[in-house]
Amino acid sequence: MAQLLKAKQHDIGGLFVKRVLPNAKKRMVGPFIFFDEMGPGGFDAGHGINVRPHPHIGLSTLTYLFEGSILHRDSLGNRLEISPGDVNWMTAGRGIVHSERESLEVRASKHSIHGLQSWIALPKELAEIEPSFTHIKKQDLPEHIDQQVMARLIVGEAYGMSSPVKTYSPMFYIDVVAGAGSEVERPNPAQEAALYVISGQVQLGEGVYESGEVVMFDDEQVLVALTNARFVLFGGEQWQEIPHIHWNFVSFSKARIEQAREDWQAGRFPAIPGDDKEFIPLP
């Protein structure tokens, strides 16, 4: 039977964030070890997203927006704005620093933000690879359209499609818009799978789920949109060993996490060109 996971809601400067993973009932879904929904919410002129430079190791970050925009900068020298439907995929590997802010034009006006941010753990043998960054525009992502169902594959492989984003373990992440009464098959039945409802109502097995709820598939193979709905399906091959997670660091070694803490405290991580005047202190 499908299992409902309760998301925790946080208020970060007037913007509500729902944290799905890590969860007390389920620490990972496939390689997904962290999963947040930002908003929907809005800011008055002069306010907005302003995440100062901070480090990561041992993971890839994935940003996918429904509304608004975020200006990404990182220590590799990348500087670009992500828009709804695009994919920002940043692989930290042995260490990277990035910031998430907004362009001057966005900050100058009243604006909204709504999207998903996830961390995907790197396999143990790839945890220390060279950092990298990929930005894929929405028109370059594969889509499947069948009657009232439109599905966009963000990363991974599913429904006979393959995303151009390079991943490091078997996984899938799909944005689905479905009309009332339509059915959607479970992707990759041999892999772990979760459903996160963005809007509308969806039935999975005997349960009915709505906006903000996340559900782990059990043996269910088909879900039904009871109303016009939007949801994401995500998951992948189940991991037998779960890495440690501390602050912005993911590693199979507690000693490696402690080293990353010391490196950040001592200023040994690389700086972000053009955004090196401030940073988030070690907690």
What's the CA gap between 6 and 216, in Å, rounded?
11
Identify the residue whose tokens are 């043998």.
125
- The full DSSP string for 245-270 is EETTEEES-HHHHHHHHHHHHTT-SP
pLDDT at 9: 86
Asked whether 169 and 123 are in contact (CB, 8 A), the reply is yes
Convert the pLDDT of each residue in 16-32 to its tens digit. Answer: 889 999 998 999 999 99
Q: Which residues of 133-163 are buried (b: 16+ CB within 10 A; e: fewer)?
A: bebbebeebbeeeeeebebbbbbbbbbebeb
In this prediction, residue 8 carries a pLDDT of 87
| Tens of pLDDT, residue by residue, the chain (283 residues) | 889 898 888 876 667 889 999 998 999 999 999 999 999 999 999 999 999 999 999 999 999 999 999 999 999 999 999 999 999 999 999 999 999 999 999 999 999 999 999 999 999 999 999 999 999 999 999 999 998 999 999 999 999 999 999 999 999 999 999 999 999 999 999 999 999 999 999 999 999 999 999 999 999 999 999 999 999 999 999 999 999 999 999 999 999 999 999 999 999 999 999 999 999 999 9
Q: What pLDDT, on a 0 to 100 scale, did the predictor assign at position 55?
A: 98
Q: Which residues pair with 29 in a beta bridge?
A: 32
Give every CB contact of residue 130 below 8 A, 6+ residues apart in sequence: 93, 94
At residue 174, the pLDDT reads 98
pTM score, whole prediction: 0.95
**pLDDT confidence of residue 10:** 82
What one-character-per-residue DSSP string does 73-141 give? EETTS-EEEE-TT-EEEEE-TT-EEEEEE--HHHHTS-EEEEEEEEEEEPPGGGTTPPPEEEEE-GGGS
pLDDT for the residue 117: 95
What domains lie within the chain, and their CATH numbers? 3-236 (2.60.120.10)
Cα gap 75→69, rounded to integer Å: 20
Nearest alpha-carbon partner for 116 in 159, 62, 156: 62
